[in-house]
Amino acid sequence: MIWRFPRPSPSLAAVLAEGFFSRLSFGMIGFTLPLFAYQLGMNMGAIGLLISLSVICEMALKPMAAPLADRFGAKSALTAAITLRGLVALLLGLAFAPWHLFAIRALHGASESLRDPAVNSLIAEHGGKKTLASAFAWYGTAKMVAGAAGRSMAGLLLTLSHADYTLVFLTAFCLSTLPLFAIPRFVRGGRWRKDTGPEGNDRTPDDRAGAASQGEAPLPAAGRRLFRQALGFGALATGTATMLGNLFPLLATQYAGLSEAEAGLVYLVSTLVILFAGPLFGWLSDNVSRKLVLSVRGLANGLSSVLYILFPHFWGVMAARIADDTGKAAYRPAWGELMARVANADQNRRARLMGYMGLAENVGETTGPLLAGFLWQTLGITAMLTVRAILAIITELYVLLVMKPFKAEEKPGEKPEEKENE
């Protein structure tokens, strides 16, 4: 079979552009914000809390924000979230006190709680039945490449402007508002109509009255089972993958003895690998085997931990980082496709289901680095990497032994719902 990617629809292309420019903007902010906070006199503990605050607020607000995307439509929710994110960048350019930064980060978390369910719902709607994994892979790749480019742009602007933080934040504001010109114009569907549900899901007045008085019909038993399994997989896989996220610079320089320049080179090479690997794994999941993609994810995460332990030098760290990012590239399309399969079973609550599964990801993103830092501090880096490898194996066993509906491969031309009814 020829490796060929289908041309995305205008709606999907607009969502991909939103992911690129939003992450480009917040890549700049992520690089600059700690430096700006330090200049304002904040200590390292306060800066750490500042960075984590947006995720904390996102987790707290997502169960309430995600249903809004179902009520008013994913397109409208995404437009509102983009507006809030632009406001975050603008306010950072006007901030001059530490409490300003904490308030702005809380607003950032509120925007993310609304944005993520809406984006995932739109990708599930426009990604195509046979190209869902590829759609999520391209979106994840666009975000990761844009994030790296944003950090580089921020460093360059700070150098050329002699640390003019306001210039960086205002540049990020301009970039973050660009999707506002694309989403309302090109995205189709995902909006609320009178006397209907989200566009494409017509509901009569009697249906709506019944839903209001009796609550929405529950998911079928198979759908509920897969939903619960997806929550566990999202927390385990994301937690394992993110354990070394913010600790990698310390691991590279303090444990492996790399210079800052060598650590930066490792980042650059791994980004180039992701640029190729993300779309490749999306295509493999859509056209060859989801089991293969999930197996690569688990094996890569475990292998990277072993390589860090056995080869603590430049080439060993390079190989481990490439293996680690290869696993992340394999995880994104598989996880996106799983979320879409679960949420598409109930399109009237698609964004809500996406939000809860995204919340499971947030749990992993929060607990993974905390666990890694605790283990490194108390037992040492070797113990931390060993535990990470064990967790990768546990996650793989969870996929193989528990998530049988997702592990199973459909036959060519066979619809999933037909298989479930057999």
Q: Which residue has the higher pLDDT, 20 or 404?
A: 20
> In Å, how far from its chain's centre is CA 309?
28
For residue 316, count other CB atoms closer than 10 A to its CB.
15
Parse the chain into domains and list their residue ranges. Answer: 10-195, 219-408
Digit-coded pLDDT (tens) for 68-79: 887 888 888 889
% of the chain beyond a pLDDT of 90 = 8
Rounded Cα distance, 78 and 81, in Å:
5
C-alpha 395/C-alpha 232 separation (Å) is 9
DSSP state of 399: H
pLDDT above 70: percentage of residues in the chain: 82
Specify the fold of 219-408.
Answer: Growth Hormone; Chain: A; (1.20.1250)
Rounded to two decimals, the pTM is: 0.71
Least confident of 39-53, 155-169, 394-408: 394-408
Query: Domain 10-195 carries which CATH code?
Result: 1.20.1250.20
pLDDT higher than 50, residue 362: yes
Q: What integer pLDDT is reported at residue 260 of this predicted model? A: 64
CB of 18 closer than 8 Å to CB of 179? yes
Residue with tokens 């990277």: 304
pLDDT band at residue 221 under the 50/70/90 scheme = low
Quote the tokens at residue 304. 């990277």
**Residue 358 has what DSSP assignment?**
H
Place of tokens 């995932």: 120
Instruction: Judge whether residue 207 has pLDDT over 60.
Output: no
**Averaged confidence pLDDT in the chain:** 77
pLDDT tens, position by position, 122-170: 887 887 777 777 888 888 888 878 887 887 788 788 888 888 889 989 9
For the ranges 23-32, 268-277, 312-321, the lowest mean pLDDT is seen at 268-277
Domain 10-195 and domain 219-408 have a common topology: yes
